[in-house]
Amino acid sequence: MSSGKGKDTDKTNTYEVRKDRVVTNVQGNPINEPFATQRIGKHGPLLMQDANLIEVLARFNRERIPERNPHAHGSGAFGYFEVTDDITDICGSAMFSEIGKRTRCLTRFSTVGGEKGSADTARDPRGFSTKFYTEEGNLDWVYNNTPVFFIRDPAKFPHFIHTQKRNPQTNLKDANMFWDFLTTPENQVAIHQVMILFSDRGTPASYRTMNGYSGHTYKWSNKKGDWHYVQVHIKSDQGIENFTNEEAVKLAGENPDFVQKDLFENIEKGNAPSWTVYIQTMTEEESKKLPFSVFDLTKVWPHKQFPLRRVGKLVLNENPKNFFAQVEQAAFAPSNTVPYQEASADPVLQSRLFAYSDAHRYRLGANFNQIPVNCPFASKFFNPAIRDGPMNVDGNFGSEPNYLAQDKTYQYIQQARPIQQHQEVWNGPATPFHWATSPGDIDFVQPRMLYRNVLSKQPGQQKNLAHNVGVHVANACPEIQKRVLKMFAKVDQELASNIAKECKAAMIHAESRAKL
């Protein structure tokens, strides 16, 4: 038997597929006839002793695992990250140690609100998660294609996601639920993300032609212990391409997997998509001078004040060999980090440190880290107290004691890295703080700048924003429609007026179609 993890000389714990392609049951016993079933006579009842039939049916009943909630519909590919610029003054992680260094990675893109079988052209934010298999452990960047989000109070997340899914009575998508949450005065901090979502960037033409953003603020340190607040930008080298609302809706009916097909076929043809990775950095002193909190997920950092600094290149050049094994079972969590990269005090990020890994324990089991796509193969895993549980397949540390034994030697190298203790110092009582929409105008300043200074320079985008909101809110009741218009009027009165016109036109069109 094994004398320890990874020492299975007798192959007891090694799984291999038969290379002679002889078909067997799961115990390795050859099957003589795949479709013959044991029965009494030719047409009599089946026999319970037909173990192969029972196995096939029982396993079929158990093929599906719980889908992600949210981010159920997704696509993925493997590739690498290559360092192009020296940022060792900002971050001491080994993956950034030298220019030209490559780290293997897996990226999964996804829609957020829809079920696994929903359309991937739907209006929705897109997940943009990358797992880096680094020599210091697996690092997950669990990002989105938008630089902000709808909430900054983590307790609102389940409520928000429920409103984006289905009405519990009708089991239908419900515009009243959707807009009721977003227009509730204390939740209107979502307006910045809503503006992005209902621009054409809410319907990307492909995963290849959209950006990724950390959204959250992180803390990165160099090996001297100097630290900065950091946000990450992953910008598409293919440029940005989006669908109009009508194009996205049409494709949703014709080919709900259009974007997944686009990614797979382009990589298969050798058109490997790439993204240039940048960072924004900020000192603690600079953060104290901001007109908003550095931990506010609904705000962006001004590029003039905090310019983008290039880091490297993300390239996806390898399709998965098996989607279920390598994409559906992939488990991303912001708590999966490496030395010199830490979470900040952003409350939504703090909550995700627990929620994501816990979701995988539920969805994939306690030993989800042993699934090959999630295994830290570049650094290996050793912690003899973390063992047992269902589906433990890595040898379970053999005869290693399941506690820190006095007669064994253990190494701890992280303690030599003075990162956290000299950074932020927190003082104060435990406080139940509801980070609702701020009094005054502060939460509408950046959405207004987006509308007047950014979308105004992109032909047709102000008009499309009003149209996209109008045709969606036309499905809501009159009271909700009034609340939507009132909220957008705080951004720009012209925008609210144009939404009202688009909403009215959509309602008239729906009435005329109903009479046909």
The CATH number of residue 28's host domain is: 4.10.91.20
Answer whether 51's CB lies under 8 Å from 282's CB: no
Tell me if 428 is assigned to some domain.
no
Query: What six digits make up the tokens of 322?
Result: 């098996």
Same structural domain, 79 and 48: no
pLDDT at 419 over 80: no
Tell me how many domains the chain contains: 3
71 is catalytic: yes
Label the pairing between strands 102-111 and 227-236.
Answer: unpaired
Tell me if 79 is assigned to some domain.
yes
CB atoms within 10 A of CB 418: 11
Same structural domain, 116 and 172: no
Same structural domain, 171 and 311: no
Q: DSSP assignment, residue 31?
A: P
Using one digit for the tens of pLDDT, what is the confidence trace for 53-111?
999 999 999 999 999 999 999 999 999 999 999 999 999 999 999 999 999 999 999 99
Q: What is the maximal distance between C-alpha atoms in the chain?
A: 85
pLDDT at 516: 74
pLDDT at 7: 42
Range of the domain at 41: 23-63
Using one digit for the tens of pLDDT, what is the confidence trace for 37-54?
999 999 999 999 999 999
Q: Which pLDDT band, with edges at 50, 70 and 90, does 416 fall under?
A: low
Q: List, in sequence order, the alpha helices (H) in 402-460.
A: 442-449
Query: What six digits make up the tokens of 221?
Result: 């340190």
Q: Which pLDDT band, with edges at 50, 70 and 90, does 18 fall under?
A: confident
Q: Which pLDDT band, with edges at 50, 70 and 90, does 462 fall under?
A: very high
Answer whether 218's CB lies under 8 Å from 232's CB: yes
Same structural domain, 366 and 454: no
Q: For 285-347, where are the E strands, in sequence order?
A: 309-318, 341-343
CA distance 57 to 9: 35
CATH of the domain at 213: 2.40.180.10
For the chain, how far is it from start to end, CA to CA, in angstroms?
Answer: 76
Tell me if 403 is assigned to some domain.
no
Question: To the nearest whole percent, how much of the chain has pLDDT over 90?
Answer: 86
Same structural domain, 288 and 363: yes
Using one digit for the tens of pLDDT, what is the confidence trace for 264-301?
999 999 999 999 999 999 999 999 999 999 999 999 99
Label the pairing between strands 309-318 and 74-83.
Answer: antiparallel
Q: Using the structure block, give the residue that is written with the tokens 């909190």.
A: 293
pLDDT at 471 over 70: yes
Query: What six digits make up the tokens of 223?
Result: 């090996």
CATH of the domain at 478: 1.20.1370.60
Query: What six digits make up the tokens of 315?
Result: 């390239």
CA distance 122 to 150: 18
CA distance 446 to 47: 70
Q: Which pLDDT band, with edges at 50, 70 and 90, does 420 fall under?
A: low
Catalytic residue among 52, 73, 138, 144: 144
Same structural domain, 50 and 136: no
Using one digit for the tens of pLDDT, what is the confidence trace for 110-124?
999 999 999 999 999
pLDDT at 8: 42
Residue 144 pairs in a beta bridge with 127, 213
Reduce the DSSP state of residue 246 to 3 states and report it: helix
CB atoms within 10 A of CB 41: 6
Using one digit for the tens of pLDDT, what is the confidence trace for 303-351?
999 999 999 999 999 999 999 999 999 999 999 999 999 999 999 999 9
pLDDT at 12 over 60: no
pLDDT at 446: 97
Same structural domain, 83 and 59: no
CB atoms within 10 A of CB 371: 18
Interacting residues of 489 by C-beta distance below 8 A, sequence separation 6+: 495, 496
Backbone φ and ψ of 376, nearest 5°: -80, 70
Same structural domain, 209 and 182: no
Same structural domain, 276 and 163: no
Query: What six digits make up the tokens of 430?
Result: 């435990």
176 is catalytic: no
Interacting residues of 206 by C-beta distance below 8 A, sequence separation 6+: 238, 241, 259, 262, 263
Tell me if 239 is assigned to some domain.
yes
Backbone φ and ψ of 246, nearest 5°: -70, -35
pLDDT at 13: 47
Least confident of 26-35, 73-82, 472-481: 26-35
Last residue of a domain, which of 342, 374, 406? 374
Same structural domain, 284 and 181: no
Reduce the DSSP state of residue 262 to 3 states and report it: helix
Using one digit for the tens of pLDDT, what is the confidence trace for 224-243?
989 999 999 999 999 999 99
CA distance 119 to 440: 39
Tell me if 434 is assigned to some domain.
no
Same structural domain, 368 and 481: no
Tally of CA atoms within 13 A in the half-sphere of 43 that contains its CB: 0
CA distance 459 to 455: 8
Q: How far are the Cα atoms of 125, 145, 300, 330, 360 from residue 68, in angstroms, in the given order? A: 15, 18, 28, 11, 9
Reduce the DSSP state of residue 229 to 3 states and report it: strand
pLDDT at 413: 80
Tell me if 325 is assigned to some domain.
yes
pLDDT at 27: 85
229 among annotated binding-site residues: no
Same structural domain, 309 and 454: no
Last residue of a domain, which of 329, 354, 374? 374
Tell me if 44 is assigned to some domain.
yes
The H or E element containing residue 280 is strand 274-282
Tell me if 171 is assigned to some domain.
yes
pLDDT averaged over every residue in the chain:
93
Q: What is the CA radius of gyration of the chain?
A: 26
Q: Which pLDDT band, with edges at 50, 70 and 90, does 15 fall under?
A: low
CA distance 397 to 381: 10
pLDDT at 514 over 90: no
For residue 101, give the amino acid letter: K
Query: What six digits make up the tokens of 439?
Result: 């009094």
